[in-house]
Amino acid sequence: MRYKILLLTALFLSLLLLPVQAGEVNDTVPRRVYQGFSGGMMLHTGYLFGTDKAAPVAADGRSYSPQGALFGIGGALRVHLWKHLRTGFEGFVSTMYSGLMDNRDMLRPGSYMRIGCGGVLADACWRMDKAWPYVGAAMGGGAMRSLYMLDGDQDTWERQSDSYFHKQSFFYVTPYVGCDYCMTRKLHLTFRLDWMLAFHHNELTMPTGPRLYLGLMFTH
């Protein structure tokens, strides 16, 4: 399954860049390969869900689902090549607290799910005066740490008798679309919408779902 996902992602990026490559061949004036770089930080929010087989089950049969809203911060660094292609790296950290989970009535304050991930990305960007729309995909790896507190209080130092901690690694593929708004020649406001697809042991798992980003990018 993992190799199929890699193959499909590579095929997607190849199809995405075919018009770009064709346009370069038809250009009458040769262009430099290197067109500069950009990088910056982004805040994000979203709604993630999926299967967490390590989650405990309550006495009434309900599982402690980690799905819900999350918030985080991260960044990306891109190198601009030819007329449209951009490629580089990204990294993000996201946290979902117990008050944002679907089963918040079953978990004590202090429970959380934290995701850290990073990988490579490639996208096609069209420079249209003040707006630079782009579409692309990223892939990489990460880890999800889950703490489920079923009793006790996070504000005390007492030993908790019923809590669970679990760490799970995963591989992810993330298609995305976005747009840069050029406030100045070197400072851009960027918007991005993506959909994370996470895989663990060749099956779709947590975290999966949409995320929305807002950030500042410095270009050169």
DSSP per position, 91-102 = EEEEEEEGGGBT
pLDDT score recorded for residue 32 = 81
pLDDT score recorded for residue 25 = 43
> For residue 167, what are the contacts with CB-CB under 8 A and spacing of at least 6?
143, 144, 145, 146
Place of tokens 């005390």: 156
- The 10s digit of each residue's pLDDT in 182-205 is 999 899 999 999 999 999 887 888
Say how far apart CA 79 and CA 36 lie, in whole Å: 6
* DSSP per-residue letters across 153-201: -TTS-SPPSSEEEEEEEEEEEEEEEEEEEESSSSEEEEEEEEEEEEEET
CATH of the domain at 134: 2.40.160.20
Contact 81, 87 (CB under 8 A): yes
For residue 109, tell me if it sits in a domain.
yes
pLDDT score recorded for residue 23 = 44
For residue 178, tell me if it sits in a domain.
yes
For residue 166, tell me if it sits in a domain.
yes
Say how far apart CA 22 and CA 127 lie, in whole Å: 17
Percent of the chain with pLDDT over 70: 77
Q: How many structural domains compose the chain?
A: 1
Residues of the chain with pLDDT under 50: 2-8, 10-30
For residue 58, tell me if it sits in a domain.
no
pLDDT score recorded for residue 62 = 67
pLDDT score recorded for residue 198 = 94
pLDDT score recorded for residue 7 = 45
Say how far apart CA 193 and CA 16 lie, in whole Å: 17
For residue 30, tell me if it sits in a domain.
yes
Task: Name the residue range of residue 172's domain.
Answer: 2-52+63-151+161-219
> Model pTM?
0.80
For residue 96, tell me if it sits in a domain.
yes
Contact 217, 179 (CB under 8 A): no
- The 10s digit of each residue's pLDDT in 54-77 is 676 766 666 666 788 999 999 999
For residue 57, tell me if it sits in a domain.
no
For residue 156, tell me if it sits in a domain.
no
